[in-house]
Amino acid sequence: MANETFDLVVIGAGPGGYVAAIRAAQLGMKVAVVEKNATLGGTCLNVGCIPSKALLQSSHLFEETGHDLAAHGIVVGAPTLDFAQMMKRKAEVVGATTKGIEFLFKKNKITWLQGMGRIDAAGKVSVVGPDGAVKDTATARNILIAAGSEVTPLPGVAIDEKKIVSSTGALELAQVPKRLVVVGAGIIGLELGSVWRRLGSDVTVVEFLDRITPGVDDEVTKFLQRALTKQGLKFKLGSKVTKAETSDAGVTLTVEPAKGGAAETLQADIVLVSIGRRPYVAGLGLDKAGVKLTERGRIAVDAHFQTSVPGIYAIGDVIDGPMLAHKASEDGIACVETLAGQKGHVNWDLVPSVVYTQPEVAWVGKTEEQLKAAGVAYKVGKYPFTADPRSRANGATEGFVKVLSDKATDRVLGVHIFGAEAGTMIGEAGIAMEFAASAEDIGRVCHAHPTVNEALKEAALAAWEKPIHL
């Protein structure tokens, strides 16, 4: 291909880019996708969401086999970890998923241009190889930037992906570390910390703030930390890592109180740096093309995802909003539908979030802290899984559902779930809130019995008036 013309050229084949490309092709556009990696799917499918969930599932089963089956009358000896097989399964899950996207590209006649995408001007994209040479060029009526994000570096702690690793390296460890220090108590750090703790690591989490999971409802956060501590994770909150020294023996971290004080050292075999992610905008040619950034370093876009340059659009992690794969996908669909003359829209206020620890945490909408700060009068309805028959039968009674509703209108403003199937349950709450449901609406919907979703019904009834089973 030499300077072929397309209706749309997408830069990046992650959950935002590849979904946008498929939807654009469905709408009749001639589409090309520029992707620098050897496989499609971006960070999420290759070194993020999918492999981490595969290891979370495997490690959960290992933990369950060793500790929880006897209560069900299933007596087995201590399980033996076949680490190589566990990692092999993870790779197979990733491979099957990325190959599925390749199939969808072929099915929808999407051209894949392998290399780094660089915008030379409106309507002009170069495909750059690892050596910096231009491999190909493409002309496009519209360009969509879906380049995603990268790990935020930590000053004084150089990631080598051997002893000091990012989330990518933490998914490819050659063996279970005896001592793991996780820097950052956000979602990624807690999920990967949970994986290696279940498999036998002594895990310490160092967090700059005085709490874990920033942005999560305070009450839920307290219960999550209590559960993870009970499982064996250790927390050093209000602390910052200022230096890391590697040796044959491992890593020595210097840790200081965030508010000042005496330093101490921590010894680790592996250190996972997980303090967040930043938009991937380097090398895209944004300056040359005239694409403006926000003060936070993200690409500035209007309500229809158009940048400061007509014909150049951006979605997902490179723009404002939560850095989540499913948000990026919805951005992409809305953007290309708008290009096709339809009415694309994404409600960022109702993008659900999930922490895939055990128990899980999931939420959509506002937290109590946000409602208080905004001066909104609200009601709280809570229902514990200890009162839910299916949860009791499953042996998974830790946690609760919390529904926040407007005191005057009963409209649901936020739903927060801490429990074994929270990530699955939150979908119902999102749908209800998208259609402006009241707590009474959810409470009056007939839910199948016995299911864990009945806990959401009961929490909604509690917010509206009174639960039946509490």
Q: Any catalytic annotation for residue 345?
A: no
SS3 (DSSP) at 119? strand
Phi, psi of 278 (to 5 degrees): -130, 150
Q: Which helix (H) or strand (E) holds 45?
A: helix 42-47
Quote the Cα angle for 391-220-186, to 5°.
Answer: 115
Which listed residue (67, 304, 449, 469) is catalytic? Answer: 449
DSSP track, 191-214: HHHHHHHHTT-EEEEE-SSSSSST
Say if CB 392 and CB 345 are below 8 A apart.
no
DSSP track, 258-307: TTS---EEEEESEEEE-S-EEE--TTS-HHHHT--B-TTSSBP--TTSB-
Helices (H), 405-449: 422-434, 439-444
Helices (H), 340-453: 368-374, 389-394, 422-434, 439-444
Q: Which residues contact 129 (CB under 8 A, 6 or more apart)?
A: 115, 116, 135
Tell me the residue type at 9: V
Pairing of strands 164-165, 270-273: parallel
SS3 (DSSP) at 219? helix
Tell me the residue type at 452: V
In the block, residue with structure tokens 């050229």: 9
CA 365 distance to own-chain centroid: 16
Pairing of strands 312-314, 134-145: parallel
Q: What is the CA radius of gyration of the chain?
A: 24
Say if CB 303 and CB 276 are below 8 A apart.
no
In the chain, what is the greatest distance between 2 CA atoms, to the nearest angstrom? 68
- The residues assigned a catalytic role are 449
